[in-house]
């Protein structure tokens, strides 16, 4: 069942090209026009939506953070992201025209379930993004986009997360299509980029040994930081979460722009810092990230840089480099997350931990 892998988690990491392909399967026609048949909310109703609130816990919450960047950009609908357990207790403003998107791999997480029950009571519309057919959260929602990742056994989510990202992109593009905020050819162009993801992921996974060598080098690390910005910020948070969950090492993710407002004080000689560099493009994200890397390096950080494979500008500031395929900024989390999964899985293995069942954690937490 582990197909020769030592852990279910490692197997599931390597299944991601297939999982992502399955998540995309049948969701668009030849011309790139989207068809999401599980969305039982009419197009007219979707045109009325004036606010989106995305909720989830743990890794699912980070998928929601990525989704916010994409959905707001494509649809211009204001979009909030909130931890499911915080959402309900702050008396959120919900109307018939609020779309609550609940992200949950298991579909059974009590915090998320209670949050959607609250939303349903307030007459908001609820759409679930879920990996488990027939589980409670999709059953109690108005609509569902299944992620089709197949069963995920490892407690720490991997293919669950990547396919949640895909479902979020599909939802954003679908809303843009229905509401006419993007032209058909623009949507088709993003769909084309998405359909190349499985091939990109194969290449990232083909380079796993490079990441394993890194893990060997950091076995004794006491603390590791992760920096990103824009869609790379949730990737940094996810990288840190994986390291906490699996290797029990203190890890934190930061938005790179926030560094100078506090966290830079943590930088010390030899501190490992993973830096997720946005693709080069018309915006200034890439250059701002490079300045942040220069700043921390000048203060002694050891930089492990994830950047586009032909990004020469970043090379002088990278102590170690993990090359990524060239993809649009909003889609970069799909490829940038995978080396961080491999790193934590390998490091925890080297430390002798149970990767599939980390201490104190459960696959789905069914108590609030």
Whether 363 is a known active-site residue: answer yes
Our CB check for ligand BG6 shows the closer of 60 and 79 to be: 60
Q: How far is CA 355 from the centre of its chain?
A: 20
Instruction: Copy the structure tokens of residue 202.
Output: 């194969």
Which of 51, 244, 288, 363 is catalytic? The answer is 363
**Is 350 or 365 the residue whose CB approaches ligand BG6 more closely?**
365
Q: What angle do CA 152, 158, 160 make, to 5 degrees?
A: 55
**Contact indicator for 188, 31 with CB cutoff of 8 Å:** yes
Tell me the closest approach of the beta carbon of residue 312 to ligand BG6, in angstroms: 36
Closest CB 91 distance from ligand BG6, rounded Å = 23
Rounded distance between C-alpha atoms, residue 123 and residue 200, angstroms: 41
Q: Provide the H-helix boundaries in the chain.
A: 8-14, 16-24, 43-48, 59-75, 84-87, 110-121, 136-139, 159-179, 184-195, 197-206, 208-217, 232-247, 285-298, 332-350
- Please say which residue, 136 or 349, places its beta carbon nearer to ligand BG6: 136
Q: How far is the CB of 131 from ligand BG6 (least distance, A)?
A: 8
CA angle 319/322/325 to nearest 5° reads 145
Closer of 114 and 302 to ligand BG6 (Cβ): 114
Residues that bind ligand BG6 (CB under 6 A): 57-60, 104-106, 109, 112, 155-157, 361-362, 364-365
The smaller minimum CB distance to ligand BG6, of residues 298 and 361, is found at 361
How many Å apart are CA 226 and CA 253, to the nearest integer?
Answer: 4
Q: 343: buried, middle or exposed (CB in 10 Å: 19+, 13-18, 0-12)? A: buried
Output the smallest distance, CB 129 to ligand BG6, in A.
9
Rounded to a whole number of angstroms, the minimum distance from the CB of residue 237 to ligand BG6 is 12
Q: By 3-state DSSP, what share of the chain in percent is helix, strand and coil, each rounded to 5? A: 50, 15, 35
Give catalytic residue positions. 363
């Amino acid at each position: 069942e582990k197909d020769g892998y030592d852990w279910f988690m490692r197997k599931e990491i390597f299944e991601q090209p297939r999982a992502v392909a399955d998540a995309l399967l049948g969701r668009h026609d030849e011309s790139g026009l989207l068809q999401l048949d599980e969305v039982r909310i009419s197009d007219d109703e979707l045109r009325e939506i004036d606010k989106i609130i995305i909720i989830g816990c743990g890794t699912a919450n980070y998928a929601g953070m990525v989704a916010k960047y994409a959905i707001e950009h494509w649809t211009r609908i204001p979009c909030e992201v909130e931890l499911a357990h915080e959402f309900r207790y702050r008396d959120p403003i919900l109307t018939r025209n609020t779309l609550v998107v609940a992200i949950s791999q298991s579909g059974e997480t009590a915090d998320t379930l209670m949050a959607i029950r609250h939303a349903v009571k307030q007459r908001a519309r609820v759409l679930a993004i879920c990996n488990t057919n027939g589980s409670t959260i999709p059953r109690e929602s108005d609509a569902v986009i299944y992620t089709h990742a197949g069963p995920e056994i490892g407690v720490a989510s991997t293919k669950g997360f990547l396919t949640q990202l895909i479902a979020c992109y599909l939802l954003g593009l679908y809303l843009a299509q229905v509401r006419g905020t993007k032209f058909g050819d623009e949507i088709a162009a993003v769909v084309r980029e998405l359909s190349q993801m499985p091939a990109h992921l194969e290449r990232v996974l083909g380079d796993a040994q490079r990441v394993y060598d890194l893990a060997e080098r950091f076995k004794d690390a006491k603390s590791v930081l992760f920096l990103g910005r824009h869609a790379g910020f949730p990737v940094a948070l996810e990288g840190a979460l994986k390291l906490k969950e699996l290797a029990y090492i203190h890890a934190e993710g930061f938005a790179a722009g926030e560094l100078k407002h506090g966290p830079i004080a943590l930088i010390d000689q030899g501190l490992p810092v993973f830096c997720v560099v946005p693709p080069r493009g018309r915006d200034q994200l890439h250059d701002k990230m490079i300045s942040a890397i220069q700043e921390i390096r000048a203060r002694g950080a050891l930089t492990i840089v994830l950047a586009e494979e032909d990004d020469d500008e970043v090379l002088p500031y990278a102590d170690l480099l993990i090359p990524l395929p060239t993809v649009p900024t909003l889609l970069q989390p799909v490829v940038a997350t995978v080396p961080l999964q491999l790193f934590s899985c390998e490091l925890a293995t080297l430390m002798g931990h149970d990767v599939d069942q980390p201490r104190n954690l459960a696959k789905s937490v069914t108590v609030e």
